[in-house]
Amino acid sequence: MQLDATDRRLIDLYQRRMPVTSRPFLRMGEELGLSEQEVINRLEALQAHQIISRVGPVFEHSRAGASLLAAVAAPQHEIDQVADRINHFPGINHNYAREHTFNLWFVMTAPDERTLATRLDELEETLALPVLRLPMIEAYHIDLAFNIDWEAVS
Amino acid sequence: MSTSASTSESMTLGNLDRELIVATQQGLPLVSDPWAAVGEQIGISGDEALARFQRLQANGVLRRVAAVPNHYRLGYHFNGMTVWDVDDERVRELGRATGELPFVSHCYRRPRHLPLWPYNLFAMVHGTSRDEVESKAERIHELLGDACRGHQILYSSAILKKTGLRLQRKR
């Protein structure tokens, strides 16, 4: 999908925050110089092409339970099986393979700290691998967004 | 159903708020009045859905409401988790400065696990090439200066699971 200048502006303006008001797309259209329907059409197209993953809330999971970044060093030839076992555990919502001795990095969530610790113990036992537990101590920046460099990506 | 306007409760989410999040966490309906559409799904008015949403945002239960970009699809094919061993005395000050760099999407302090894991500062950096990620990491390195005793860049080679789903409906 070719993004035009308006698509780019739309992403730049609303990737961090969109109006949470009545008729939000009308409001966005006023800022962009588009009709409400045009904003909706563009968002639909961007979503259909997976340029944006969704238009909606990003949930602060630390406010509704416990979560933790963890890593394991899976033997390279077993990495798929280990990843599969991790993914089938309750509360896993990210799992990335990374180029490192610690080659699987995942986030585990649970309703509370105790359940989280129990699940991690169980996971450790199931995998027969030590799980590196890296809870967040302090967040310095949790934007999860950054300025898109349109020159670089086009 | 009661709508007791509670003060910013941090841990307990009411059932309606939970349903509201479950109904919207994969995205708002792209219609003229998304609040009415969402409200209809969970049996409340559009005005109430909007008011609840605004409260969840003010409480910090929602980090943000946004058009969330898929960086990979935009062309950012390299995702480097940069990890740094930074002097504990200075990690807060330097972590904040690192987090302010425009290309860092998130920056956290985490515990070391010596001797296997000496790194206490994590900064996520995205790039369209490895060179780009590396030059960005170099800027972090310069910023950290002699407070940094070592670092690594962990590139992601595959996304094995990624879900925005965080809450399940209570039964």
**What is the CATH number that goes with domain B71-155?**
3.30.70.920
Cβ-based neighbours of B167, under 8 Å, separated by 6 or more? A59, A64, B18, B21, B22, B25
CB within 8 Å: A22 and B32: no
Specify the higher pLDDT residue, B66 or B10.
Answer: B66
Least confident span in A19-23, B13-17, B48-52, B158-162: B158-162
Distances (CA, A) of B45 to A121, B3, B35, B65: 44, 12, 8, 20
**CA-to-CA distance for A141 and B49, rounded, in angstroms?**
29
Three-class SS string for chain B? CCCCCCCCCCCCCCHHHHHHHHHHCCCCCCCCCHHHHHHHHHCCCHHHHHHHHHHHHHHCCEEEEEEEECHHHHCCCEEEEEEEEECCCCHHHHHHHHHCCCCEEEEEECCCECCCECCCEEEEEEECCHHHHHHHHHHHHHHHHHHEEEEEEEEEEEEEEECCCCCCCCC
Q: What is the pLDDT of residues A112-150, one digit of tens each?
A: 899 999 999 999 999 999 999 999 999 887 766 677 788
Q: With a cut of 50, say whether residue A4 has pLDDT above it.
A: yes
Structure tokens, B16: 């309606």
For residue B60, give the chain A residue with the closest CA: A60
**B151, B136 in Cβ contact below 8 A?**
no
Cα–Cα distance between A14 and B50 in angstroms, integer? 18
Q: How many CB atoms lie within 10 A of CB B113?
A: 14
Which range (A8-22, A48-62, B99-113) has the least confidence? A48-62
pLDDT above 80 for A90: yes
| Per-residue pLDDT band at B7 (split at 50, 70, 90) | very low
Q: How far apart are CA A30 and CA B66, in angstroms?
A: 17
SS3 A28: helix
Domain ranges of chain B: 15-59, 71-155
Q: How many CB pairs under 8 A join A and B?
A: 238
Pick from A41-50, B7-16, B18-27, B52-61 the range whose average pLDDT is largest: A41-50
Contact list in A for residue B118 (CB cut-off 8 A) is none
Q: Per-residue pLDDT for B1 more than 50?
A: no
A139: phi then psi, degrees, rounded to nearest 5: -100, 130
Q: What is the CATH number that goes with domain A61-134?
A: 3.30.70.3460
Q: What is the Cα–Cα distance from A123 to A107, expressed in whole angstroms?
A: 13
> For residue range B92-141, what is the model confidence (pLDDT) as tens digits?
999 999 999 988 988 999 999 999 999 999 999 999 999 999 999 999 99
Nearest chain A Cα distance for residue B44, angstroms:
15
Q: Say yes or no to pLDDT of A8 above 90.
A: yes
Give the one of A92, A96, A141 whose C-beta lies nearest to B106's C-beta. A141
Locate B101 and state its tokens: 């760099």
Angle at alpha carbon of residue A10, lines to B163 and B158, rounded to 5°: 30
Domain extents for chain A? 5-48, 61-134
The answer on pLDDT for A66 being more than 90 is no
pLDDT at B15 > cutoff 90: no
Residue type, A72: V
Higher pLDDT, A153 or B150: B150
Computed over every residue of chain B, the mean pLDDT equals 87
The mean predicted confidence, pLDDT, of chain A is: 91
* Residue of A49, A83, A138 lying closest to B92 (CB–CB): A138
The shortest C-alpha distance from B85 to chain A (Å) reads 14
pLDDT at B72: 85
How far, in Å, CA of A45 to CA of B67, rounded?
12
Contact B60, A60 (CB under 8 A): yes
| Interchain CB contact of B21 with A (< 8 Å) | yes
